[in-house]
Structure 1
Amino acid sequence: MPAHLHAHPPGSTSLAANHEAESPSDSVSSPRVFLSHDDEDAIAEIRRTLTEISHHNSKQGYPEPHSSFDKFLEAELQAGRKKSNLGVCFQSLSTWGDGEEHTDVKTLGTALWRTLTFQDVYEWTIQPWLSRKEPQSGRPLIRDFSGAVRTGCSTFLRTIAGHHSSFLGVTGSLDYSGLSLEEVKKHYRGQVAYVPEDDVHFPTLTVQQTLEFALQSKTPQRYQDRIPRYLEIYGRVFGMSHTMNTLVGNEYIRGVSGGERKRISIIESLATDSSVSCWDNSTRGLDASSALDYARSLRIMTDTCGKATLMTLYQASDAIYDLVDKVLLIDEGRMLYQGPAREAKRYFEDLGYECAEMQTISDFLTSITVPERRRFRPGWEHRAPKGPIELEEAFRKSSAYQKVQYDVQHYEDQRLGGKSVRCSQIDSDDGSLEDFKKAIQTDKSRFVSPKSPYTISVFRQVVLCAKRQLWQIRGHMSPLYIKIISSVVYGLLVGSMFYNQPQTTAGMYSRGGVIFYSSILLAWLQMSELEEAMQGRDILSRQKKFAFVRPSAVCLARVITDFLIAAVITFLYLIVVYFLSGLKSDVG
């Protein structure tokens, strides 16, 4: 394996040349390396080259491979790919949950009773109209949030991303550059993405197949040649190049590690190419270096492609913290601070809090919400605001809150020109709403409706899902082998039970038994598909929200592939049973 060369700073020496006489102790304790003048010149040239490379990379702003990622995105834009900019503005935003502290777990008996008495149907259809709950009657999860994003934490991200189904209600204003939440859900679903912290993938797919499916579902046919380049870039940036042909795996199937599975989730989410991305604790399970690579990648995509990025991070290093523009501190659903990240530390120090030595800024901000960890400046122990209520009141009286209100008003004036949200078509630095719609339509296939949230046609979705289904079967062939062997064994058993039945009326009932047992056994062999179908529901739900493929396309693709496999299994079974049971072997 070749050795790595490292550039040394001026004044340091890695190899020493000494032409003086050696002492006996020197010859024993420390070996000497004698170099000629040519060797010294070669070493000096290597140092100059490495210094120039290091200086060149520092001028680019990002080390390799992130600088290549930045150049690649810029080349994509220069090649004619349009930006799909979409900002977020929220004002007086509150989310309300059910006030009940517990939920009853359904048993088999209660499930049957609710089904037979049509209680589920009643709760889904009639009850919402007869007894509507006011959102304010529930428990507040986040309270009166305001802010603008141009370029409980999970609750806030899900509220911004429009995932409101689990909430009792959401009040306030939520605007996406002139688009309402209903318009985004219906026509631009994939442009606002919520990325949860759970890593759920098909375990029998390789890393490359998982990422290739995500990229192909968001890339029209005319741009398919770019997918290998995207895979290469993403693999280099996140250190996944060596695992591309490895199964994703799970607790039963051996595959990649938990940290590598987290990177797969990140790359898959980046493939959505969403304009607004909400990342929920996506650094969980990553080491410090990988977490920094992830943050740099988001910073590059935000700057180069004009994205709006919101993310929750726990125990973020100062290197990651320096990459963000704004920080929002939440405790018990209350907004304790929102503003520039570089001003957050000074703001809380002015309130009387103290940041310990060698403590990261993110850890300092988190400690403010924990009574056992927060520290006060001398003399401020009784004057500093404490608890979420006092800190929220202090923030709303501060100049930082006035700056937030100014940013919201400036955002609306810039986007709306002082008019209503729904009627704005005014250009801004980020482009108009019409430019956004044109950019989205440009990235779609020719056979996709302009109002559809999907990128590729239904036919291509079915083909892509069928190919993924075949990939899954090939990645774990044991169930298929078991089915084939079982069909042959069942054929031998049934054929031996009704071996060589007479061709007269005496064998009529026996032949009916052959047909009956064959139907039951062949249907029983397909029961094993139910578990696999149920396990993929979470993945299907997430990919529907990402606007990868339609659920109907996935179901149709499964029917096609299952039919082909069932045809092979049925053929092998019937060949054995037909001739052993003495069924008619000619056309006469």
Structure 2
Amino acid sequence: MDLPLYRTKGRALGVVFEHMNVLGATASAGGILDLPSLILKVTKYPVELVLSTFSNRSVSSKHIVQDISGVLFPGETMLVLGRPGSGCSTVLKALANNHAPFVEVQGRISYGNISSDEMARSFCSETVYAGEDDIHFPTLSTKNTVEFGYTLRKPATQKQSDSRFAAEQTQNMLSSLGIAHTKDTVVGDAFIRGVSGGERKRITLAEALSINSAYGSWDNPIRGLDSSSATQFLRLLKNISRQTGMSNCVSLYQASETMYQECFDRVMVLYDGQMIFCGKADEAKEYFENLGFECLGRQTTPDFLTAVTSPLERRIRPGYQSVPQDAESMAKAFRNSENYRRLNNDIASYYGQVAENVEYTQSFKEESQRIRSKLAVAKAIAPRSIFKQTYSAAIRYYQLLWGGSSYILHGPRFQCN
């Protein structure tokens, strides 16, 4: 089966990041407001709005992740591991240039020799973050949902009609993800019967893949998938990376040994916002064993790497003393290790081989420009003209109206679990 691609050139950039710190707003005390408190809050809002607009008061913030460094060469895929709350999603968002949720992102992030600011300003659709949540219109069919994305992303150089291009690409994508049989089924949600939860997750992944971007962050993309479907998606992602040079970061909370060995080139391990390892995937297990941690007999490598960040799950090898066990000391041990020196050598190699090589950046910019319509707004996300976008949106609105009226006529169909 052919890979679901319409763009194979100009996607080989990779990403490098050095000493990245992400600061988030400090959570304020909250609770249920009584009526006097609510009236007072509404009364004070205009004053606070004016003060926040014209004053230089800084927002109270805290570090979410600290001193994160790493590199992804074109075509590489990195696994990000850590317990919930360790900062995995934050790192994925920061690398995908999704900085809006944060107070500040410090440090250097570059895609080839394109800075994160330039990427956000001129090529914002080339870095994609696919979150955990599956947000769709429940009354649209799978086919209509995915085709809308392809219609908006159709390259200007494609001679096919919009409908034929979208239909062919959608069929190829759905077949690659193993959900071609759901194309005429509504997506559904908790109240409208539609596709299964695992199929809905793959629809989300199909929409993200339809962009054909240069970089992608995938936040726990196999949640709700069975082992076979999860492995199928990760292999598809790896094959796309190899053929196009696209780079990816993936966070997983349940990864098999097969997934780890076949689908990932590098791995990053986070512990309470600190980076305690980043390097080649085949070096991580040996590093932590040499540090003094024991991998149990039937424990997979991803489980072992995550377990070292849990006081209840990690095991110390017999005979080892003074093993670092808190986030700060483990991060310091990594920065003093030979693996960290190799990481810095890889970063230097990336600058020499990719960032300073004009061919990578020139190919990327030329391809990004080639697929755009001459009538497209200069810095718009979609490469189509505003007229094509409006037409596609009108068709989608009609589909929503038709689906909604059908739902009203036939009545609600609740999911039975």
TM-score for the superposition, normalised by structure 1: 0.63
Q: Which whole-Å deviations, capped at 9, do the CAs of 1:348-379 have from their partners, x for residues lacking one?
A: 11111111112111011111111111112221
Deviation per residue, 1:390-443 (Å, 9 max, x gap): 2111111111100111111222233454xxxxxxxx43xxx3322211101111
Whether 1:145 aligns to 2:68 is yes
Matching residue within 78, 94, 98 for 2:25: 98
Structure 2 residue matching 1:321: 3-state secondary structure: helix
1:335 and 2:275 aligned: yes
1 CA distance for matches of 2:230 and 2:408? 39
The code of the aligned residue for 1:165 comes to A
2:121 aligned residue? 186
- 2: CA distance, partners of 1:354 / 1:406: 28
| Higher strand residue share | 2
The one-letter code matched in structure 2 to 1:268 is E
Q: RMSD across aligned C-alpha pairs, in angstroms? A: 2.3
Q: Secondary structure at the match of 2:12?
A: coil
Superposed CA offset, 1:50-98 (max 9, x none):
xxxxxxxxxxxxxxxxxx234x65xx56xxx633333211111111122
Distance 2:211 2:375 in 1: 20
Distance change (3 Å), C-alpha of 1:413 and 1:284: same
The amino acid across from 2:396 in the alignment is R
Kindly provide the CA deviation profile for residues 311-350 of structure 1, in whole angstroms up to 9, marking residues without a partner as x: 1011100111011000000010001100110111111111
CA distance, structure 1, for counterparts of residue 129 and residue 286 of structure 2:
31
Matched, 1:169 2:104: yes
Partner Cα separation in structure 2 for residue 458 and residue 105 of structure 1: 44
Larger Rg: 1
Between the aligned partners of 1:395 and 1:102, the Cα distance in structure 2 is 36
Query: Would the alpha carbon gap of residues 168 and 450 (structure 1) be closer, same or farther in structure 2, given more than 3 Å must change?
Result: closer
Check conservation: 1:90, 1:175, Cα contact below 8 A.
yes
Q: Does 1:255 align with 2:215?
A: no
Q: 2:397 aligns with which of 456, 469, 489?
A: 469
Q: CA deviation at 1:120?
A: 5.3
Q: Return closer, same or farther for 1:269/1:124 CA change in 2, 3 Å cut-off.
A: farther
- Which position in structure 1 is the counterpart of 2:2? 69
For 2:375, which of 447, 451, 454 is the aligned residue?
447
Q: Report % sequence identity.
A: 33
Q: 4+ runs of 1 displaced by more than 4 Å? A: 103-117, 478-482
Pairwise CA distance, 1:449: 4.2
- 2:324 matches 1:398: no
For the Cα contact (< 8 Å) 1:157–1:310, is it kept in 2?
Answer: yes
Letter in 1 for 2:388: R
Change (3 A) 1:115 1:184: farther
**CA, structure 1 residues 208+353, in 2 after alignment: closer, same or farther (shift >3 Å)?**
same
Q: Per the alignment, in what secondary structure is the counterpart of residue 477 of structure 1?
A: helix
* SS in structure 2 of the partner of residue 69 of structure 1: coil
| Structure 1 unmatched ranges of 5 or more | 1-67, 418-425, 483-588
Output aligned runs, 1:87-236, within 5 Å: 87-100=14-27, 102-103=29-30, 117=44, 118-119=46-47, 121-122=49-50, 124-126=52-54, 129-133=55-59, 138-151=61-74, 152-220=87-155, 222=158, 223=160, 224=162, 225-236=164-175
Aligned CA distance change for structure 1 residues 437 and 249 (closer, same or farther; 3 Å): same
Residue correspondences, number:
392
Q: Distance in 2 between matches of 1:108 and 1:443?
A: 55
**What amino acid maps onto 2:91 in structure 1?**
F
Mapped to 2, the partners of 1:108 and 1:123 lie a distance apart of: 25
> TM-score with structure 2 length normalisation?
0.87
**Paired AA for residue 402 in structure 2:** R
- C-alpha distance in 2, partners of 1:398/1:335? 13
The residue matched to 2:332 in structure 1 has which SS? Answer: helix
Q: Which moved more, 1:190-199 or 1:472-481?
A: 472-481
Seen in structure 2, the aligned counterparts of structure 1 residues 261 and 481 have a Cα distance that, compared at 3 Å, is closer
Offset at residue 464 of structure 1 (A):
0.6
